[in-house]
Amino acid sequence: MHNLRFRSLITFTSLWLIGRQRSSCVEEGTAIGDTKGQAWNNDWDQGNPMAAQVSAGQKSKASRHIIMVRHGHYKKSKATGDQLTDLGRRQAKLTGKRLREWNISWDQVVVSTMTRAQQTSEIILKELNFDPRSVVHTDELREGAPYLADPPSKARRQKLEESIRRDGPRIEAAFRRYFYRAPPDQERESFLLIVCHSNVIRYVILRALQLPPEAWTRLSLNHGSITWLTVHPTGYVSLRFMGDSGFMPVQQISSRCSRDSGLKPPKEIQNRG
């Protein structure tokens, strides 16, 4: 009996010591000043082939600017499919003009394959100096439910989980494809324009800034608004502005789609646009 007690004492003490050791490691690793949150990870793009050399220790020299545009106002309709409205077209035109004002030479333009994004990008590209034939069209950027939101939405949990199961990994894949540090042979800043959807943009902002992704519903974006993220050579990411739509007259600002039927859809679905 004595033997038994002794053994349990040893097991207990050793496990307790190990546990203590581990928790103190965590604190040393993250704390700067008073902060005990998650430390910034500079090497977040590991595994992206574009950043492989940088990850392996070579220096990245230039910044990558990623400018994301939400599609314009559109109407949901079973008969004709979801199409941009006149308002949406005007918004897209204004967005295009604003982007032209920046006088940027675009390195790449990527567009979601959904009709509203396609139509928006067509209008925008008329304003920009970029060959429409070199635009990349991708299914990865299509609208969807990226992550279980917190604070929780009122939509049915099961249905939400199903959509997240379907869309979540795909949207995460889009993030991983387009966000990485510039490869070492990139000499000057590069500019990537992405035309896609609100949920995707909101999720990607949080992922890029290493903020909790479940917070995506706390952000909202107007139609045709511009969001500007910069990936610095060090691996630091900063947000320059989010949902910039000040270039539109106030009456033309919208953030929700309209529908054919007079019935008002529940809030959660309205949000998805």
Partner 1 sequence: MRKFTAFACGTGAGLATFYLTKLNEPKAAVHNSWTRSEKPVDACALWDNNWDLRDPKSLVKPVKNDLSQEQNRYNTELEKVVPKHARHIILIRHGEYLDVGDTDETHHLTDRGREQAKYTGQRLQELGIKWDKVIASTMVRAQETADIILNEIDYEKTKVKNCAFLREGAPIPPQPPVGHWKPEASQFFRDGARIEAAFRRYFYRAHPDQTKDSHTLIVGHGNVIRYFVCRALQFPPEAWLRININHASITWLTISPSGNVSIKYLGDTGFMPVKHLTNRIPRPAKNVV
**Residue 54 CB burial class (10 angstroms; 0-12, 13-18, ≥19):** buried
Using CB atoms within 10 Å of the CB of residue 29, give its burial: 0 to 12 exposed, 13 to 18 middle, 19+ buried: exposed
247 binds partner 1 (CB under 8 A): yes
The reply to whether 81 sits in an annotated binding site is yes
User: Residue 85 and residue 263: Cα distance in Å, rounded?
Assistant: 19
Q: Enumerate residues 203-232 that contact partner 1 by CB under 8 A.
A: 209-212, 214-215, 217-222, 225-226
176 annotated as a binding-site residue = no
How far is 82 from 70, CA to CA, in rounded Å? 15
Q: Which of 140, 143, 197, 223 is catalytic?
A: 143
Phi, psi of 147 (to 5 degrees): -165, 150
- Minimum gap (Å) between residue 34 Cβ and partner 1: 4
Report the run of H or E that residue 143 belongs to, with start and end.
none
CA distances from 29 to 18, 23, 36, 41 (A): 17, 10, 9, 12
In this chain, which of 21, 103, 158, 261 binds partner 1, going by CB under 8 A?
103
Give yes or no for residue 24 binding partner 1 (CB under 8 A).
no
Q: Are 141 and 197 in contact (CB under 8 A)?
A: yes
CB of 216 to partner 1, least distance (A): 11
- Report whether 80 belongs to an annotated binding site: yes
Q: Is 32 in the site for partner 1 (CB under 8 A)?
A: yes
Q: Which of 65, 67, 38, 45 has its CA nearest to residue 211?
A: 38
User: Any contact of residue 21 with partner 1 (CB under 8 A)?
Assistant: no
For residue 71, indicate whether it is catalytic: yes
Report the site for partner 1 in 146-165 (rule: CB under 8 A): 150-151
65 is catalytic: no
Which parts of this chain interact with partner 1 (CB under 8 A)? 3-12, 15-16, 19, 23, 27, 32-40, 42, 98, 101-103, 150-151, 209-212, 214-215, 217-222, 225-226, 236-250, 255
Binding-site members for substrate are: 80-81, 116
Task: Give me the active site residues, please.
Answer: 71, 143
